[in-house]
Structure 1
Amino acid sequence: MLSPTVFGAGPIAPRVLRGALALLILLFISGCAGRDGREVVERASAPSGWHGERGQASFYADRYHGRRTASGETHDRNALTAAHRSLPFGTRVRVTRLDNGRETVVRINDRGPFVRGRVIDLSRRAAAELDMLGQGVAEVQLSPE
């Protein structure tokens, strides 16, 4: 029977084989780990060159509570989070409702909205802070935080 060798330099020690196998198993297991949202890095400010935008805000229906967002986090209707089409995940944005002046700061953790004219989808808590739960949609100004 032939014994395994490293580049033809002689038999491989069983201890080296066990170590290599353990390392491969560890790498495989870590590569299979699911995302739970904790990997998202908090950002202190919006990307340079983005100075805000104006449009309509809407908020998530309750049926999305507990579902995965595009960032891998679980949507929490009680958190101050939002969806934006292009801002990086973790970006903090000040949202000001134009007709009553109320404002809140949210963290982007999802993609959307996908309705023309809408610039942001807010969590239920953020919508409540803007006093827009009754209307469902409100005109807002987004600005860097």
Structure 2
Amino acid sequence: MTFPLRWLWWLPVLLLLQACSSIPTLPVAPTTTPVAGVQGMASYYGARHHGRKTASGERFNQNALTAAHRTLPFGTRVRVTNLNNQKSVVVRINDRGPYAKGRIIDLSAEAARELNMIRAGVAKVRVERLE
């Protein structure tokens, strides 16, 4: 059985139609921004990392009000509230992390001091993105 060559003229037409067609795309919600009021465990990092470059390229300062978050854009300001004592602090995201399982944010030592969590090392917190 031989293939009739007269059918081959359809091939370029079909390829052209395929190239010109477009599939409508649905808007996708960004996956990099958590919903306001996410709760979880926070930890802090300080002297050992002081002066080292962060993922954003700036030097880490343990005395500044900064934090590390896995997905929020650098420069984003968030309010972190210690759910044990209701103290809160506003920090700026300038690094990536935390890398410890079960943690949602790593704070600078100064931010941890303001939340009164230095002794415990970790605390249950609420993280709210500020506009």
Give your verdict on TM over 0.5: yes
Structure 2 contact 65–108 (Cα < 8 Å) conserved: yes
Identity over the aligned pairs, expressed in percent? 59
Shift of 1:50: 3.3
Query: Aligned to 1:114, which of 85, 99, 102?
Result: 99
CA-to-aligned-CA distance 1:99-123 (integer Å, 9 cap, x gap): 1000000000000001121000000
RMSD of the alignment, in Å? Answer: 1.4
Q: Does 1:61 align with 2:46?
A: yes
How do 1:81-92 residues align onto structure 2 when only pairs under 5 Å count?
A: 81-92=66-77
Q: Give, in angstroms, the shift of residue 60 of structure 1.
A: 0.5
1:50 match? 35
Report the AA paired with residue 122 of structure 1: L
Q: What count of residue pairs does the alignment treat as equivalent?
A: 99
For residue 39 of structure 2, what is the amino acid of its counterpart?
Answer: R
Q: Which residue of 2 aligns with 1:134?
A: 119
- Any stretches of 5+ residues in structure 1 without a counterpart? 1-46
Q: Secondary structure at the match of 1:64?
A: coil
Opposite residue 144 of structure 1, the aligned amino acid is R
Residues 4-23 of structure 1: pairs in structure 2 closer than 5 A: none
TM-score by length of 2: 0.72
Q: What TM-score results when the alignment is normalised by the length of structure 1?
A: 0.65
Higher strand share: 2
Q: Distance in 2 between matches of 1:110 and 1:128?
A: 19
SS at match of 2:48: helix
Instruction: Determine the C-alpha separation between the residues in 1 that align with 2:95 and 2:33.
Output: 20
The structure number with the bigger radius of gyration is 2
| Structure 2 alignment gaps of length 5 or more | 1-31
Q: Which amino acid aligns with 1:101?
A: Q
Where do 4+ consecutive residues of structure 1 move more than 6 Å? none
